[in-house]
C-alpha cells in the first residue's frame, strides 16, 4: 500500500476528507458565474440577490479554462451554457495593465492619439487570454446572457 493511500485511508476512517491543494501565493481562488464558448469562459455579473462572491470580482474577464479530465468533460458538455466555476487564476492575470489611469470603470489617457509616436496603443483585445485552472463546474442555465 502506498503512503498516500494509507493517509487517505486514515483520513476516511476518522471521518475527514483529504485536504484540498493549497492555492499558490501568486494566485487567487475565484468562484464566479459566466458563459462557456468552447474552452473560453467569460465572467458575468452575479445577481444582487445571490450575495457576495468568493474571491475578486472578475466580471467581464475572459479566461481559457483547463482542469482535470472530468471537469473538462463538463466544459465540453456545457458549451454555450451559463455555468458557475471554481478555479485558480494567477494574480498577475487580474492586474489592470495598460495606458493611463483607471477611474471607475473607465481608463483615462492624457494626450491625443498619435501625438506621441513613441507611445504604443493599448493591447489588442484577446491577444493574450489568461488561464483559469478549474476545480469544479456547475450548470446553471441553457441561456447565456452574453453572446
Does a structural domain hold residue 146? no
Judged against a pLDDT cut of 70, whether residue 116 lies above it is answered with no
Does a structural domain hold residue 15? no
Check the CA dihedral 65-50-138-17 and report its sign. positive
Does a structural domain hold residue 129? yes
Q: What is the pLDDT of residue 33?
A: 92
Does a structural domain hold residue 102? yes
Judged against a pLDDT cut of 80, whether residue 32 lies above it is answered with yes
What total of structural domains would you count in the chain?
A: 1
- Where does the pLDDT of residue 124 fall: very low under 50, low under 70, confident under 90, or very high at 90 and above? very low
- Where does the pLDDT of residue 105 fall: very low under 50, low under 70, confident under 90, or very high at 90 and above? low
- Find the CATH number of the domain harbouring 96: 2.40.50
Q: What is the pLDDT of residue 73?
A: 95
Chain-centre distance of CA 122, in angstroms? 22
100 φ/ψ sector (left φ>0, alpha ψ -120 to 50, else beta):
left
In this prediction, what percent of the chain has a pLDDT beyond 70? 60
Q: Which residue has the higher pLDDT, 139 or 49?
A: 139
Does a structural domain hold residue 10? no
Does a structural domain hold residue 16? no
Q: What's the domain range around 106?
A: 21-116+123-141
Q: What is the pLDDT of residue 146?
A: 78
Does a structural domain hold residue 1? no
Does a structural domain hold residue 109? yes
Amino acid at each position: 500500500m502506498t503512503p498516500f493511500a494509507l493517509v487517505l485511508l486514515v483520513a476516511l476512517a476518522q471521518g475527514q476528507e483529504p485536504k484540498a491543494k493549497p492555492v499558490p501565493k501568486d494566485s487567487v481562488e475565484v468562484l464566479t458565474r459566466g458563459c462557456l464558448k468552447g474552452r473560453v469562459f467569460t465572467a458575468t455579473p452575479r445577481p444582487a440577490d445571490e450575495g457576495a462572491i468568493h474571491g475578486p470580482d472578475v466580471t467581464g474577464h475572459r479566461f481559457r479554462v483547463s482542469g482535470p479530465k472530468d471537469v473538462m468533460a463538463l466544459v465540453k458538455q456545457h458549451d454555450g451554457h451559463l455555468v458557475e466555476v471554481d478555479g485558480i487564476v494567477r494574480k498577475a492575470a487580474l492586474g489592470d495593465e495598460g495606458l493611463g489611469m483607471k477611474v471607475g470603470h473607465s481608463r483615462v489617457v492624457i494626450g491625443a492619439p498619435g501625438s506621441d509616436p513613441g507611445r504604443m496603443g493599448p493591447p489588442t483585445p484577446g491577444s493574450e487570454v489568461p488561464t483559469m485552472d478549474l476545480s469544479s463546474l456547475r450548470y446553471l442555465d441553457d441561456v447565456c446572457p452574453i453572446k
